Amino acid sequence: MLTRGTLIYIGQRLVIIVFTVLVVSSIVFLGIHRLPGDALFNEHLHGTQYALILHHYGLDRPLWDQYTSFLSGLILHGNLGESLVNRGVPITPLVLREFTVSAEVGLFALVFTIGLGMTLGVVAAIRQNTWVDYVLTTTSVIGYSMPSFVIATFLLLVFAVWLDNLTQGTFYFQIGWTGRFGTIGEIWLPAFALGFPYASIVARLTRASMLEVIRQDYIRTARAKGLRETVIMVRHALRNALIPVITILGPLVIGIITGGVIIENIFGIPGLGKEFATSILNRDYNIVIGVFTAYAAMIGVANLGVDLAYVVIDPRIRY
């Protein structure tokens, strides 16, 4: 699987990712310094105090000078600077920690998307034109025509508010995050809300391609051989029905990453998305630059991962 060609391909892609990350952070860095507004404004600083802090952040130097030192810090030390609002907080460890939180939610959502979507799709295909099929198909129409934050809001309303009122507080979903990483009890609802719209798409695709596959000759042959129905469905049918699903894996992963921005803000998850919204509102421009840089890297790596997954799943693909 890991041929020399694949390794060269991975190397090339990594170079492109690094380049993209540098371009994105440069655009944001140079653009953001043109903006009006000032993170230090609220502190009502004057005179030498203000000048000292400006000097601390290097904001008194010419823009080009600031930019080159930002770029060299980023390339040589992976250093993204220091928060403007929470003075003394270095951004790189902060962003890395939030990245792992976002990745955790995203992976859970991906599990929901693929697992739930494929199960529903297969069940709907096997029970075609029964009430099971109709219920599942209708649910998936709702799933992909409603925006994710509406779905998330209604889930929150049902599980965190109404369930709480109904059971007098004995059983409900606790909004927010207690530890560094969420527990399963804290993560399942946001992951479900994030994955459900995409699960609907996966379910629709799986159903359509399963319907096509189970009518083919080799399935009839498998039945004639006397194989059990579950073996036929899982080993023979599902494998080939997977191919159209795999083709949307790329857009799916990107959708989950960007959709996570909203979901994290709704459910109070301390990930990159929450930091993004907070830092923009606080005008903490150094963090904004850092978050954008992290997102560009995350998306690049995710895309590469998807492309490599193709190689593993479909032996016909070679790089």
Partner 1 sequence: MATSVSYPTPGPGPAPVVATAGIQAPVQASLWSDAWRRLRRNRLALVSAVYLVLLVAVALIALVHTPYSYRDVGVARPYSGPSGANWFGADILGRDVLSRLMVGAQISLIVGVGTQVLVLAVGVPIGLLSGYYRGLFDTVVAFIINVFYGIPDLLVAMILLLLLGPSLNNIIIAIVATRWMDMARLVRGQTLALREREFIEAARSSGAKPAKILFGHILPNSLGPIIVQATFGVPAAILFEAFLSFLGIGVQPPTPSWGSMAADGLAAIRIAPHMVIFPSIALSLTLMAFNFLGDGLRDALDPRQKR
Using the rule CB under 8 A, which residue among 54, 262, 301, 304 binds partner 1? 262
Task: Candidates 39, 71, 211, 254: give the one binding partner 1 (CB under 8 A).
Answer: 254
The residue range among 71-79, 179-187, 228-236, 257-265 that interacts with partner 1, by the rule CB under 8 A, is 257-265
Q: Which of 8, 51, 52, 161 binds partner 1 (CB under 8 A)?
A: 161
The answer to whether residue 31 forms part of the interface with partner 1 (CB under 8 A) is: yes
Instruction: Determine the straight-line distance between the first and last CA of the chain, rounded to whole angstroms.
Output: 10
Give the residue, chosen from 9, 149, 172, 319, that forms a contact with partner 1 under the rule CB under 8 A.
Answer: 149
- Comparing CB distances to partner 1, the nearer of 172 and 319 is 172
| Integer angstrom CA distances of residue 43 from 49, 89, 286, 300 | 11, 17, 17, 38
Decide whether 222 or 267 has the Cβ nearer to partner 1: 267
305 binds partner 1 (CB under 8 A): no
Q: How far is 21 from 292, CA to CA, in rounded Å?
A: 9
Question: 70-89 burial string, b = 16+ CB within 10 Å, else e?
Answer: beeebeeeebbbbbbbeeee
**The 3-state secondary structure of 119-170, one letter per residue:** HHHHHHHHCCCCHHHHHHHHHHHHHHHCCHHHHHHHHHHHHHHHHHHHCCCC
Among the listed ranges 43-51, 98-106, 119-127, 295-303, the one in contact with partner 1 (CB under 8 A) is 295-303
**CA quadruple 31, 266, 282, 85: dihedral sign:** negative
Any contact of residue 266 with partner 1 (CB under 8 A)? Answer: yes
Q: How far apart are CA 120 and CA 232, in angstroms?
A: 17
Token output for 282: 């606080």
Region binding partner 1 by CB under 8 A among candidate stretches 56-64, 122-130, 211-219, 255-263: 255-263
> Would you say 10 or 32 has its CB closer to partner 1?
32
CA–CA dist 175, 310 (Å, integer)? 37
261 binds partner 1 (CB under 8 A): yes
User: What residues form DSSP beta bridges with 82?
Assistant: 90
**Is 34 an interacting residue with respect to partner 1 (CB under 8 A)?**
yes
Minimum distance from CB of 154 to partner 1 (Å)? 7
Q: Phi/psi of residue 90, each to 5°?
A: -70, 145
- Asked if 1 is part of the footprint of partner 1 (rule: CB under 8 A), the reply reads no
Which of 110, 156, 232, 241: binder of partner 1 (CB under 8 A)?
156
| Secondary structure (DSSP) of 60-125 | TS-HHHHHHHHHHHHHHH----B-SSSTT-BHHHHHHHHHHHHHHHHHHHHHHHHHHHHHHHHHHH
Smallest separation (angstroms) from partner 1 to the CB of 27: 7
Q: Is 27 in the site for partner 1 (CB under 8 A)?
A: yes
160 near partner 1 (CB under 8 A): yes
**Interface contacts to partner 1, rule CB under 8 A:** 24, 27-28, 31-32, 34-35, 145-147, 149-150, 153-154, 156-157, 160-161, 254, 257-258, 261-262, 265-266, 276-277, 280-281, 288, 292, 295-296, 299
